[in-house]
C-alpha cells in the first residue's frame, strides 16, 4: 500500500467496515449458516458494525490517529503536503507498528481477527433478530475469518 493515502484505490474509509459487515452477513446467509427476517437485515448489519467497528481501523482512522499523535490541528487533514512530510510518515509508522500482524486489506485490527470473529459469533448466537443459527461456533468463526481475509473493497465497485 502506498504511503500517499489520498489515492482512492488504496485508501480505506469507515464505510469500508460497514461493507465488510454486510459481506459477512450476506455470506453467512447465502451459505445457509443463519436465518433472519429480511426486514431486519439493515438493523443486523448496523449492530454488527457497532460491535466490531471500534476494533477495525481504516486508513482514514490511521491518518486521524497519526495527526492526533503529532498534536496537529484537524485542518491539517486537508493538507496533502503535511501528510507527505517525513514527520507525518514517522508518526504514522509509530501508530501503525502498534498493530503488529493485524493489518489486512487496508484494515488495522485492534484485536486479533479471530477475536473479532468470536465477537460476531457471540452476537449471532444471542441476538433476538437472528431466527436460527445452523452452524457450530467454530464453523461460523471460520466463515467470518475467511470473509475478512478475502474482503477487498476495490472489488465491490
Helix, strand and coil in the chain, % to nearest 5 = 65, 5, 25
pLDDT tens by residue, the chain, 157 residues: 333 333 334 578 889 999 999 999 999 999 999 999 999 999 999 999 999 999 998 888 888 877 777 775 555 555 555 555 676 677 667 676 666 557 788 888 989 999 999 999 999 999 999 999 999 999 999 999 999 999 987 776 5
Contact at 8 Å (CB) between 18 and 58?
no
Sign of the CA dihedral with 102 first, then 105, 61, and 27 last: negative
pTM of the model: 0.79
Q: List the domain boundaries for the chain.
A: 11-156
Amino acid at each position: 500500500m502506498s504511503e500517499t493515502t489520498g489515492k482512492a484505490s488504496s485508501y480505506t474509509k469507515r464505510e469500508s467496515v460497514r461493507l465488510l459487515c454486510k459481506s459477512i452477513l450476506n455470506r453467512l446467509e447465502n451459505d445457509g449458516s443463519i436465518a433472519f427476517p429480511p426486514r431486519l437485515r439493515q438493523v443486523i448489519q448496523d449492530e454488527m458494525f457497532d460491535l466490531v467497528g471500534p476494533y477495525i481501523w481504516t486508513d482514514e482512522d490511521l491518518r486521524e490517529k497519526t495527526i492526533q499523535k503529532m498534536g496537529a490541528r484537524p485542518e491539517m487533514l486537508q493538507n496533502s503536503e503535511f501528510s507527505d512530510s517525513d514527520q507525518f510518515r514517522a508518526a504514522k509508522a509509530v501508530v501503525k507498528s502498534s498493530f503488529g500482524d493485524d493489518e489486512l486489506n487496508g484494515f488495522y485490527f485492534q484485536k486479533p481477527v479471530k477475536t473479532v470473529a468470536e465477537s460476531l459469533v457471540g452476537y449471532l448466537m444471542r441476538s433476538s433478530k437472528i431466527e436460527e443459527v445452523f452452524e457450530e461456533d467454530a464453523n461460523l468463526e471460520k466463515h467470518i475469518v475467511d470473509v475478512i481475509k478475502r474482503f477487498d473493497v476495490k472489488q465491490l465497485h
